[in-house]
Chains A and B, each alone.
Chain A
Amino acid sequence: MICDKRGALGGGVLMITRLLLVAFIAFVIFGIASVFYSHYIDVRSAESVIMGRNFVDCLAPEGIFDLDAYPEEEMDKMISYCGFSGDLDRIFARVIFSESDEKLATVYQGDSGALWIREIYKDSGVKLGEGLGQYEPGYFNSKEYGDYPVFVLKDSKRVDAKMNVEVLIEHE
């Protein structure tokens, strides 16, 4: 009688162990499956183009950038200066105003190191799978389409210049 009870108890323990083992295997299978079956929709390139246009509208409304009025201490806080808030850690934006080859002003915000990540993706030539490919940043550079012709007000003089806009948006 005692032996039977012990046997039943042993059977129960064995059952729980099996149940835990099966649950663990199921958990691993679902984990792997969720990675393989998940699909990522990338809109960061579109986002970078939209933000590029927003920065142009902000800095050079009517096609004129007033460098004299732009605060010196805001040169590296361009996105905040334009009034954008939110998760700014994933954005790097840089705007360069230049006359011929001479730089008149550079305003920017964000970690320029993010450009290195993009370079790695671009230069590696390795086609990354969807899992890793989703970490490739979205990028816009107005140079590809032709920089914006603007006027820059500097030292109360109006200078013909080009406005180069670069926006990089990282994974959210």
Chain B
Amino acid sequence: MREKRGELLNQVVIHLILIGIIFALFIMAVAGNVNARGIRQQIAEKQVALLIDSAVPGMSFEIREKSFGGFVHNVELRKGRLFISVDGYNSVGGYPYYSKYAVTVSRTDGKFVVSVK
């Protein structure tokens, strides 16, 4: 009888732990969205892509590491797409930009410099 009660208690505890884990994961996922790292990353990519679209040769603009309400740890141009990572949130697909000029990115003194030549 006691063994059965113990077994039941074990099962209940395990279930509670599992439910707890699910809730914790769910809350973390929702917190991530509320914290809006993804949105900040999206804003960063799209704003910079629009700047590149409208830039003419000789223009360059700086993206400080501490900007967009977070920490920009990478700016990259690959196959006509711009990838910006903000607060550890890495860009998956990037955002396309259109320029008929040569666009380069360099990193110096805590900032990224996008140059259009």
A and B are partners in one complex rather than unrelated chains: yes
Q: 0/1 per residue, A25-50, Cβ < 8 Å to B? A: 11001100110011111010011001
Contact B33 A50 (CB under 8 A): no
8 Å CB contact of B46 from A22, A29, A30, A43: A43
Decide yes or no whether A83 CB sits under 8 A from chain B. yes
The answer to whether B88 has its CB under 8 Å from any CB of chain A is no
B10-53 vs A, Cβ < 8 Å mask (1 yes, 0 no): 00001100110010011001100100101100110011011001
The CA of A50 and the CA of B98, in the complex, are separated in Å by 10
Residue A54 at the B interface, CB < 8 A?
Answer: yes
Residue total for B at the interface (Cβ-Cβ under 8 A)? 31
- B53 touching A41 by the CB < 8 A rule? no
Describe A's contact surface by its main secondary structure.
helix
Flag the segment in A69-77, A85-93, A114-122, A148-156 that touches B.
A85-93
> Is B108 interfacial (CB-CB < 8 Å)?
no
Given contacts A18-B18, A43-B46, A54-B53, is CB(A86)–CB(B30) below 8 Å?
no
